[in-house]
Structure 1
């Protein structure tokens, strides 16, 4: 401080002090204003809204759902071609089996008998003798007919039913016999009945146990039909 200032009047000093206080006050106010301005949030800016119009086309209508497909019409089955008819096979004519000619005379092993109380019964007159010429053999070869009267066969004599004896039944049965290659009777049929069922059955039962000499063709045994006569005579 200069000597002039030391001895300056008191009024001048107070004026400077007042100025300094005012400056400090202004500085404080400015600082406060700055601080208060920083703490205040910024005011929002109002931006005018812009209306934008946009034409939106209506959605196109959905296409109609496709109709369900009709089921395929079943095709009729194709007709199966018929196979050509088979060619007719040439029919081979079967050679007829030779048949033995019925023997009109009583068989050597035919049963005989007598009836005690019954009157004698006249036998029917014998049929005309068969032709001596043997039947013509088929064109297939030489044929030898079966036989039942060979001594070694030992065929039993037919039994005479006792009831038929008492009732005076008698007659002649012709049996048609299928003789196998082994000489056995395979099938027996009644060709001519005696007129009495009991006598017919007795003849069949007896012949079923017989053995035969088989028929042959060209020396080879072959199944053939054979006629067997059975006489039932009361004496």
Structure 2
């Protein structure tokens, strides 16, 4: 019986590429599972990216991207008695208006016990608030982190091209998106921050 013919170099390369691709996919899946081990954040990740067939939520969908560009800065704060380290993973991004974008914040619980926090946000200058749209974010939802747990928190957003047509906003080139974590919405209300926070739009629905 004749021995099976040896695979050609091209076939060997294709097999190797399939193995490498499969391994990379497993690594990516593992990283996603670890980064979003917190159930609410995993659901949010699915909403932001469409992963696992999850429908994205929000008040509106971005229109066609325009030539006008703005820089979006990301700020992060925490209530004094909340033992978390909370920061934006990128200080800023420059985006085209009408273009969907995703940015990430990161939170770490520095306490030796589980700690729950709730975030509020605001957008400045206030006059651009009507043109800044979040299609998904982690605000207004309780997030509980285990001792030492670190998580990534995504926010999806776009800037309405109409910002370039409004005489009050067309010269604005920088927008700041700020998130502040409190222990609870009651704490935020007592501090006065809840009254000046952005509207509860684009937050992932509680389940």
Which structure is richer in relative contact order (CA contacts within 8 A, separation 6 or more)?
2
Tell me which interval the TM-score lies in, with the shorter structure as reference length: under 0.3
- TM-score w.r.t. length of structure 2: 0.23
Greater helix percent: which structure? Answer: 2
TM-score (norm 1): 0.21
